[in-house]
Amino acid sequence: MRVGVLALQGDFAEHLATLARLNVEATEVRKVGDLAQVDALIIPGGESTTIGKLMARYGLDEAIRARAAQGMPIYGTCAGMILLAKHIEGSEQPRLGLMDITVRRNAFGRQIESFEADLLFRPTPERAVRGVFIRAPIVSQVGDEVDTLSELEGKIVAVQQGKLLATAFHPELTDDTRVHQYFLSLISGTL
Protein backbone atom coordinates (compact mmCIF):
# COMPACT_ATOMS: atom_id res chain seq x y z
CA MET A 1 0.00 0.00 0.00
CA ARG A 2 1.33 3.42 -0.95
CA VAL A 3 -0.35 6.67 0.06
CA GLY A 4 0.13 9.85 -1.94
CA VAL A 5 0.03 13.32 -0.42
CA LEU A 6 -0.88 16.12 -2.81
CA ALA A 7 2.17 18.40 -2.55
CA LEU A 8 1.23 21.46 -4.60
CA GLN A 9 1.12 23.74 -1.55
CA GLY A 10 0.34 23.53 2.14
CA ASP A 11 1.25 21.25 5.03
CA PHE A 12 1.96 18.11 3.02
CA ALA A 13 5.20 17.51 4.96
CA GLU A 14 3.24 16.96 8.20
CA HIS A 15 1.00 14.34 6.55
CA LEU A 16 4.09 12.57 5.19
CA ALA A 17 5.60 12.62 8.69
CA THR A 18 2.40 11.18 10.22
CA LEU A 19 2.33 8.39 7.61
CA ALA A 20 6.02 7.69 8.29
CA ARG A 21 5.22 7.32 12.01
CA LEU A 22 2.60 4.74 11.03
CA ASN A 23 5.18 2.91 8.89
CA VAL A 24 3.16 3.50 5.73
CA GLU A 25 4.91 4.04 2.42
CA ALA A 26 4.09 7.58 1.34
CA THR A 27 5.01 9.81 -1.57
CA GLU A 28 4.47 13.37 -2.79
CA VAL A 29 2.05 13.89 -5.67
CA ARG A 30 2.83 16.94 -7.82
CA LYS A 31 2.08 15.70 -11.33
CA VAL A 32 -0.40 13.38 -13.03
CA GLY A 33 2.29 10.72 -13.39
CA ASP A 34 2.80 10.61 -9.60
CA LEU A 35 -0.85 9.74 -9.07
CA ALA A 36 -0.54 6.44 -10.93
CA GLN A 37 1.92 5.26 -8.25
CA VAL A 38 -0.45 5.55 -5.28
CA ASP A 39 -3.38 3.60 -3.83
CA ALA A 40 -4.91 6.51 -1.93
CA LEU A 41 -4.52 10.26 -1.70
CA ILE A 42 -4.41 12.84 1.09
CA ILE A 43 -5.20 16.45 0.20
CA PRO A 44 -3.55 18.62 2.87
CA GLY A 45 -4.38 21.92 4.47
CA GLY A 46 -3.19 25.06 2.76
CA GLU A 47 -4.95 27.66 0.64
CA SER A 48 -7.83 25.96 -1.15
CA THR A 49 -7.93 28.61 -3.90
CA THR A 50 -4.24 28.10 -4.62
CA ILE A 51 -4.31 24.31 -4.49
CA GLY A 52 -7.48 24.22 -6.64
CA LYS A 53 -5.98 26.46 -9.30
CA LEU A 54 -2.74 24.46 -9.40
CA MET A 55 -4.63 21.15 -9.62
CA ALA A 56 -6.49 22.44 -12.66
CA ARG A 57 -3.33 23.93 -14.19
CA TYR A 58 -1.48 20.61 -13.99
CA GLY A 59 -4.44 18.40 -15.02
CA LEU A 60 -4.54 16.77 -11.60
CA ASP A 61 -8.23 17.61 -11.05
CA GLU A 62 -9.36 15.36 -13.92
CA ALA A 63 -6.87 12.66 -12.98
CA ILE A 64 -8.01 12.62 -9.33
CA ARG A 65 -11.69 12.53 -10.33
CA ALA A 66 -10.98 9.57 -12.63
CA ARG A 67 -9.22 7.67 -9.84
CA ALA A 68 -11.98 8.52 -7.36
CA ALA A 69 -14.53 7.09 -9.80
CA GLN A 70 -12.54 3.84 -9.68
CA GLY A 71 -12.82 3.84 -5.88
CA MET A 72 -9.52 5.39 -4.76
CA PRO A 73 -9.86 6.55 -1.13
CA ILE A 74 -9.21 10.27 -0.56
CA TYR A 75 -8.82 12.15 2.70
CA GLY A 76 -8.97 15.94 2.75
CA THR A 77 -8.01 18.13 5.72
CA CYS A 78 -9.15 21.76 5.94
CA ALA A 79 -8.42 23.09 2.42
CA GLY A 80 -8.66 19.44 1.31
CA MET A 81 -12.22 19.31 2.68
CA ILE A 82 -13.13 22.44 0.72
CA LEU A 83 -11.69 20.95 -2.47
CA LEU A 84 -13.65 17.70 -2.01
CA ALA A 85 -16.95 19.56 -1.58
CA LYS A 86 -19.51 19.83 -4.36
CA HIS A 87 -20.70 23.22 -3.07
CA ILE A 88 -18.68 26.08 -1.56
CA GLU A 89 -20.78 28.93 -0.18
CA GLY A 90 -20.30 32.13 -2.17
CA SER A 91 -17.41 30.81 -4.26
CA GLU A 92 -16.81 29.64 -7.82
CA GLN A 93 -13.24 28.53 -7.08
CA PRO A 94 -11.92 25.35 -8.77
CA ARG A 95 -12.66 22.15 -6.84
CA LEU A 96 -12.92 18.38 -7.17
CA GLY A 97 -16.60 18.37 -6.16
CA LEU A 98 -16.58 14.69 -5.18
CA MET A 99 -18.51 14.82 -1.89
CA ASP A 100 -22.15 15.76 -1.60
CA ILE A 101 -21.54 18.48 0.98
CA THR A 102 -21.71 22.25 1.18
CA VAL A 103 -18.82 23.94 2.98
CA ARG A 104 -18.51 27.40 4.45
CA ARG A 105 -14.97 28.76 4.21
CA ASN A 106 -13.33 30.53 7.16
CA ALA A 107 -16.42 29.65 9.19
CA PHE A 108 -14.72 30.51 12.46
CA GLY A 109 -13.28 33.81 11.17
CA ARG A 110 -9.99 34.81 9.58
CA GLN A 111 -6.52 33.75 10.76
CA ILE A 112 -7.03 35.51 14.05
CA GLU A 113 -9.63 32.89 14.99
CA SER A 114 -7.39 29.83 14.89
CA PHE A 115 -7.95 27.57 17.92
CA GLU A 116 -7.89 24.03 19.32
CA ALA A 117 -10.74 21.98 20.78
CA ASP A 118 -11.41 18.42 21.97
CA LEU A 119 -13.75 16.53 19.66
CA LEU A 120 -15.62 13.25 19.57
CA PHE A 121 -14.55 11.57 16.32
CA ARG A 122 -17.15 8.82 16.01
CA PRO A 123 -14.92 6.05 14.55
CA THR A 124 -12.60 6.36 17.60
CA PRO A 125 -14.94 7.10 20.52
CA GLU A 126 -12.64 5.83 23.30
CA ARG A 127 -11.17 9.29 23.90
CA ALA A 128 -11.34 12.74 22.36
CA VAL A 129 -9.38 13.84 19.31
CA ARG A 130 -7.59 17.19 19.64
CA GLY A 131 -8.86 19.31 16.78
CA VAL A 132 -6.53 22.02 15.48
CA PHE A 133 -8.57 24.57 13.52
CA ILE A 134 -6.79 27.19 11.34
CA ARG A 135 -9.02 29.44 9.22
CA ALA A 136 -11.12 26.31 9.17
CA PRO A 137 -14.23 25.56 7.11
CA ILE A 138 -17.36 23.80 8.39
CA VAL A 139 -19.84 21.60 6.57
CA SER A 140 -23.11 23.52 6.44
CA GLN A 141 -25.15 20.88 4.55
CA VAL A 142 -24.75 17.17 3.89
CA GLY A 143 -26.37 14.92 1.28
CA ASP A 144 -28.08 11.59 2.03
CA GLU A 145 -24.97 9.53 1.28
CA VAL A 146 -22.81 11.43 3.76
CA ASP A 147 -22.12 10.38 7.36
CA THR A 148 -21.28 12.99 9.95
CA LEU A 149 -18.28 11.82 11.99
CA SER A 150 -17.70 14.80 14.25
CA GLU A 151 -19.35 18.02 15.36
CA LEU A 152 -18.18 21.04 17.32
CA GLU A 153 -20.88 23.13 18.99
CA GLY A 154 -23.42 21.81 16.50
CA LYS A 155 -21.20 22.50 13.49
CA ILE A 156 -20.15 19.56 11.34
CA VAL A 157 -16.36 19.25 11.19
CA ALA A 158 -15.77 15.70 9.88
CA VAL A 159 -17.66 13.72 7.22
CA GLN A 160 -17.40 10.52 5.23
CA GLN A 161 -18.99 9.45 1.98
CA GLY A 162 -17.94 5.93 0.99
CA LYS A 163 -14.16 5.99 0.63
CA LEU A 164 -13.97 9.77 0.89
CA LEU A 165 -13.10 11.31 4.24
CA ALA A 166 -12.83 14.99 5.16
CA THR A 167 -12.01 16.87 8.35
CA ALA A 168 -12.07 20.63 8.95
CA PHE A 169 -9.25 20.18 11.47
CA HIS A 170 -5.62 19.08 11.18
CA PRO A 171 -4.80 15.75 12.91
CA GLU A 172 -1.40 15.85 11.17
CA LEU A 173 -0.41 18.74 13.44
CA THR A 174 -0.88 16.60 16.57
CA ASP A 175 0.79 13.41 17.81
CA ASP A 176 -2.52 11.53 17.64
CA THR A 177 -2.54 9.26 14.57
CA ARG A 178 -6.03 7.78 14.99
CA VAL A 179 -7.74 9.76 12.23
CA HIS A 180 -5.04 8.72 9.76
CA GLN A 181 -5.34 5.13 10.98
CA TYR A 182 -9.06 5.29 10.31
CA PHE A 183 -8.34 6.53 6.78
CA LEU A 184 -5.86 3.68 6.28
CA SER A 185 -8.57 1.21 7.29
CA LEU A 186 -10.66 2.53 4.37
CA ILE A 187 -7.77 1.81 2.01
CA SER A 188 -7.02 -1.68 3.20
CA GLY A 189 -10.63 -2.57 2.42
CA THR A 190 -10.01 -1.70 -1.23
CA LEU A 191 -6.74 -3.54 -1.85
Partner 1 sequence: MLRGGVIMDVVNAEQARIAEEAGAVAVMALERVPADIRREGGVARMSDPRMIEEIMHAVTIPVMAKCRIGHFAEAMILEALGVDFIDESEVLTPADEEHHVNKHAFKTPFVCGARDLGEALRRIGEGAAMIRTKGEAGTGNIVEAVRHMRAIMKDIRRIHSAPEDELMAIAKQLQAPYDLVVEVHQTGRLPVPNFSAGGIATPADAALMMWLGAEAVFVGSGIFKASDPERRARAIVDAVTHYRDPEVLAEISKGLGEAMPSLDVRKLAEEELMAVRGW
Amino acid letter, 120: L
Q: In the complex, what is the shortest distance from the CB of residue 76 to partner 1, in angstroms, rounded to a whole number?
A: 13
Burial of 98 (0-12, 13-18, 19+ CB in 10 A): buried
| Separation of alpha carbons 127 and 118, rounded Å | 9
Q: How far is the CB of 151 from partner 1 (least distance, A)?
A: 23
Q: Is 28 noted as a catalytic residue in this protein?
A: no
The answer to whether 87 contacts partner 1 (rule: CB under 8 A) is no
Out of 28, 92, 113, 170, pick the active-site residue.
170
Binding region for partner 1 (CB under 8 A) out of 11-19, 64-72, 119-127, 154-162: 11-19
Q: Which residues are catalytic?
A: 78, 170, 172
State the residues that interact with partner 1 by CB under 8 A: 7-13, 30, 45-47, 49-50, 53-54, 57, 78-79, 91, 93, 105, 110-112, 134-135
